[in-house]
Amino acid sequence: MRSASHRTAGIKRPMAALDVADALSPSGPFWTKPLPDDVCRATTQPLHGLEEFVILGVGQEHKSPRPVPQPSLLTAWEAASAAVDEYFGWTPEELEIVGDEGRLVEALLSGHLCVISDGSYKRALGTAAVQLLPRKGEKDRVIVRCQTPGLPQDQSAYRSELIGLLAGIMVVDWLLQQWAPKLQSKPRVRIACDGFSALLNTFGDHRVSPHQAQFDLVSSLREALARSKASWEPSHVYGHLDRATSFLSLPWWSKRNVQVDNWAVAYRHQLEASNQLIAPNARFFTELAALYIGGVKQS
């Protein structure tokens, strides 16, 4: 019985004796059609035998509220991996959240999130590692590890640097997609690596050509930047400084570079030892994006 907006106690409604008898008959239910969604339980009391009844109260049955899904970077990563063609034909293989993802989002939205990546390459196998963390509060971070896609003859240290940058940009945009989908302004993110050429070709405003080295990745990075909901501030950091100086004595960015460098090397060793090599990605679907830098077709 549908609930009314006014009080229903004491309302009388006549009912034929035959109808009541049918309702109480064990031969079948009185109502056989699906009930509307807004049907509420009613408490009734018969009057004058079975010919009349009074509604004493109406109330909805108690239902547990449906849990509101919590935004999660892992959700975005899994969805992107399932629809990989929408994400440059590739997504990183390992993603780890350390600490509180919410604090990372706060750092991102306030312009204090830092991204640093590094690559490793040896014997035609490339890998990269990335970490996203605030300048303060280093216990909260995202760590990404990935194999550099492409054929063995495509691999190089430069290509591994490029894939690290692409992974960092993708993960930041997944965070924004999950936690701030309606954000109007672009938060500033500082991104660093020790590959100067990778930074120059990714963030430079010069045209890229299909004849230049690693064109597929460079053009994919340009496309990722054009789509990104963040404002990127590239920075170069010198690598391998721990070979001459103790780790504790290094500047903050150099320490973070040493960490991602070690993770990239360890991941490459892991792939080699387990022989779990990932099938190469022949090309990125945005390979022709270099002709459309900044939304303007270039000749």
- pTM for the complete prediction? 0.73
Q: Where in the sequence is the domain holding 48, given as residue range(s)? A: 12-59
Q: Are 179 and 103 in contact (CB under 8 A)?
A: no
Q: How many domains does the chain contain in total?
A: 2
Flag residues of the chain having pLDDT under 70.
1-31, 38, 47-54, 56-69, 85-88, 137, 279, 282-299
Instruction: List, in sequence order, the alpha helices (H) in the chain.
Output: 17-24, 73-82, 101-109, 157-179, 196-203, 215-227, 252-274
Q: Are 228 and 169 in contact (CB under 8 A)?
A: yes
Cα distance between residue 69 and residue 34, in whole Å: 30
Does residue 299 fall inside a structural domain?
Answer: no
Token pair for 111: 């312009």
Cα separation values, 293 from 23, 155, 163, 169, 296, Å: 73, 25, 19, 17, 6
Judgement on whether residues 110 and 258 belong to the same structural domain of the protein: yes
Does residue 297 fall inside a structural domain?
Answer: no
Judgement on whether residues 86 and 192 belong to the same structural domain of the protein: yes
Cα distance between residue 134 and residue 268, in whole Å: 27
Judgement on whether residues 99 and 47 belong to the same structural domain of the protein: no
Cα separation values, 297 from 41, 72, 117, 272, Å: 64, 36, 31, 42
The predicted structure's pLDDT at residue 41: 72
Judgement on whether residues 159 and 26 belong to the same structural domain of the protein: no
Q: Are 46 and 15 in contact (CB under 8 A)?
A: no
pLDDT tens digits for range 141-180? 999 999 999 888 889 999 999 999 999 999 999 999 999 9
Judgement on whether residues 79 and 145 belong to the same structural domain of the protein: yes
Judgement on whether residues 40 and 77 belong to the same structural domain of the protein: no
Judgement on whether residues 158 and 267 belong to the same structural domain of the protein: yes
Judgement on whether residues 151 and 236 belong to the same structural domain of the protein: yes
pLDDT tens digits for range 108-140? 999 999 999 999 999 999 999 999 999 886 789
